[in-house]
């Protein structure tokens, strides 16, 4: 059949095609909300998420939200701005049910990162997609490292004690310090020489204050082994120990994150901060963003629960490992 006005028909169908594709695939916009935007760990998550946005071609909206009110208004703003997905490390895990409800009514796909939501029944919300660390296992590796360093130095249990700066309100934090304590006990460290220093806030001042209380209560300990929820927890404890005259020769601390202790490891003179379990900021930033992108674009649902691992960095190897992981140039 001979088509009259063929060029016009072609033009119309081209226009139609553009309109249909525009309708079928609106620009993808993803929010990435973190609880502590000033911490290097979260800045790195964002950096890697940005990398995914650039490579895959979507808009990333980075939001720092330090309390529940900010989280809820951020979700409203994201929805109003046409976002289709939210990746979140919430400042308060018990907000979980509220965040789920709000995201659902705003039509946002939801992926919790780092800190798993806690439901009204106080249990983890396992139906909400989550990517976090193998907290117990990584904590155990901290404990094993501390036990090995103690042995290397020839310290005896009689003049050594463990300071665990804890933040038990957060499940992943509790699992980490519980893991470290369990590994120390398994290595033969006496339970009555293991002391918890509960932090009021999960930051350096929080662990500095908590550790100072413990050090006042235990003035006769010669050597300290230190573990905590993350690098900041160990850093605060180390600052408190230094205030009482402890040095790298008399105290050993091992952190978690590996991203918030770089300046510490770069110091010319070693401090009691011995090393850290480096987590994969790339998995937590780049991979989560990629998962969310494909979920929105192709309907490919991510795994419900993904756990990442950690590797020990010390003054010996941190430059090399950070370079390999793309954390440092
Ligand atoms: C929690 C901690 C962070 C980081 C993350 C993986 O959110 O607060 O420092 O360790 O888990």
248 to each of 4, 150, 160, 251, 252, how far by Cα in Å? 87, 12, 14, 5, 6
Tokens 């409203």 belong to residue: 76
CA of 272 to the centre of ligand 1 (A): 22
Q: Torsion over CA of 324, 325, 326 and 328, rounded to 10 degrees? A: -80
Beta strands in 44-83 (DSSP E): 59-64
In sign, the C-alpha dihedral spanning 245, 249, 252, 257 is: positive
Helical residues (DSSP H) of 92-203, grouped into ranges: 96-105, 135-153, 171-186
CA of 82 to the centre of ligand 1 (A): 29
Q: Is the CB of 260 under 6 A from ligand 1?
A: no
Sheet of 194-198: strands edge to edge?
194-198, 160-166, 223-228, 251-257, 273-279, 310-314
CA of 130 to the centre of ligand 1 (A): 14
184, 225 contact by CB (below 8 A): yes
Q: Give the per-residue pLDDT at 92.
A: 97
| Residue closest by Cα to atom 9 of ligand 1 | 230
220 to each of 160, 161, 198, how far by Cα in Å? 10, 10, 20
| Residue closest by Cα to atom 7 of ligand 1 | 114
Q: Give the per-residue pLDDT at 11.
A: 47
Atom of ligand 1 nearest to the CA of 115: 7
Q: How many CB atoms lie within 10 A of CB 138?
A: 24
Q: Is the CB of 199 under 6 A from ligand 1?
A: no
Euclidean distance between CA atoms 134 and 132, whole angstroms = 7
Q: What is the pLDDT along the chain (329 residues), one digit of tens a residue?
A: 444 454 545 545 554 545 555 455 679 999 999 999 999 999 999 999 999 999 999 999 999 999 999 999 999 999 999 999 999 999 999 999 999 999 999 999 999 999 999 999 999 999 999 999 999 999 999 999 999 999 999 999 999 999 999 999 999 999 999 999 999 999 999 999 999 999 999 999 999 999 999 999 999 999 999 999 999 999 999 999 999 999 999 999 999 999 999 999 999 999 999 999 999 999 999 999 999 999 999 999 999 999 999 999 999 999 999 999 999 88
Q: Is the CB of 278 under 6 A from ligand 1?
A: no
| Residue closest by Cα to atom 11 of ligand 1 | 114
Q: Is the CB of 110 under 6 A from ligand 1?
A: no
| Residue closest by Cα to atom 5 of ligand 1 | 114
CA of 222 to the centre of ligand 1 (A): 31
Q: Is the CB of 114 under 6 A from ligand 1?
A: yes
Q: Among candidates 133, 229, 241, which has minimal Cα distance to 181?
A: 229
Q: Give the per-residue pLDDT at 23.
A: 53
Q: Give the per-residue pLDDT at 178.
A: 98
H/E element, 257 = strand 251-257
CA of 277 to the centre of ligand 1 (A): 12
103, 75 contact by CB (below 8 A): yes
Q: Which residues neighbour 104 within 8 Å (Cβ) at sequence distance 6 or greater?
A: 110
Atom of ligand 1 nearest to the CA of 256: 10
27, 59 contact by CB (below 8 A): yes
Q: Give the per-residue pLDDT at 26.
A: 76
Q: Give the per-residue pLDDT at 13.
A: 52
Indicate the pTM of the whole model. Answer: 0.92
13 to each of 1, 8, 26, 258, 307, how far by Cα in Å? 18, 9, 20, 55, 48
Q: Give, as one character, the DSSP assignment of residue 34.
A: E
Helical residues (DSSP H) of 166-317, grouped into ranges: 171-186, 204-217, 231-243, 262-266, 281-282, 288-298
Euclidean distance between CA atoms 210 and 206, whole angstroms = 6
Q: Is the CB of 45 under 6 A from ligand 1?
A: no
H/E element, 223 = strand 223-228
User: Best mutation site among 32, 89, 91, 199 for ligand 1, i.e. most ligand atoms within 8 A of its Cβ?
Assistant: 89
Q: Among candidates 275, 277, 313, 305, which has minimal Cα distance to 138?
A: 277
Q: Give the per-residue pLDDT at 123.
A: 97
Q: Which residues neighbour 268 within 8 Å (Cβ) at sequence distance 6 or greater?
A: none
């Amino acid at each position: 059949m001979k088509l009259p006005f063929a060029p016009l028909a072609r033009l119309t169908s081209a226009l139609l095609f553009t309109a249909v594709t525009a309708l079928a695939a609106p620009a993808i916009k993803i929010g990435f909300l973190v609880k502590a935007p000033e911490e290097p760990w979260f800045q790195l998550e964002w950096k890697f998420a940005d990398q995914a946005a650039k490579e895959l071609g979507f808009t990333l909206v980075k939001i720092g939200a330090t309390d529940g009110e900010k989280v809820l208004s951020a979700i409203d703003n994201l929805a109003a701005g046409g976002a289709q997905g939210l990746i979140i490390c919430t400042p308060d895990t018990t907000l979980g049910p509220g965040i789920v409800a709000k995201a659902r009514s705003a039509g946002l796909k939801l992926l919790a990162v780092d800190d798993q939501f806690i439901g009204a029944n106080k249990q983890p919300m396992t139906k909400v997609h989550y990517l976090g660390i193998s907290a117990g296992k990584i904590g155990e590796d901290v404990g094993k490292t501390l036990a090995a360093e103690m042995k290397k130095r020839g310290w005896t249990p009689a003049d050594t004690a463990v300071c665990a700066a804890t933040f038990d309100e957060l499940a992943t934090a509790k699992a980490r310090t519980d893991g470290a304590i369990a590994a120390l006990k398994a290595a033969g460290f006496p339970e009555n020489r293991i002391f918890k220093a509960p932090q009021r806030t999960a930051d350096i001042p929080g662990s500095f204050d908590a550790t100072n209380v413990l050090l006042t209560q235990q003035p006769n300990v010669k050597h300290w082994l230190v573990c905590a929820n993350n690098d900041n927890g160990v850093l605060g404890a180390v600052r408190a120990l230094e205030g009482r005259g402890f040095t790298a020769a008399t105290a050993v601390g091992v952190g978690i994150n590996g991203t918030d202790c770089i300046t510490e490891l770069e110091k010319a003179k070693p401090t009691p901060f011995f090393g850290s379990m480096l987590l994969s900021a790339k998995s937590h930033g780049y991979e989560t963003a990629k998962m969310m992108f494909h979920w929105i674009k192709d309907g490919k649902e991510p795994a419900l629960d993904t756990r990442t691992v950690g590797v020990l960095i010390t003054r010996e190897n941190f430059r090399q490992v950070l370079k390999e992981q793309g954390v440092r140039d």
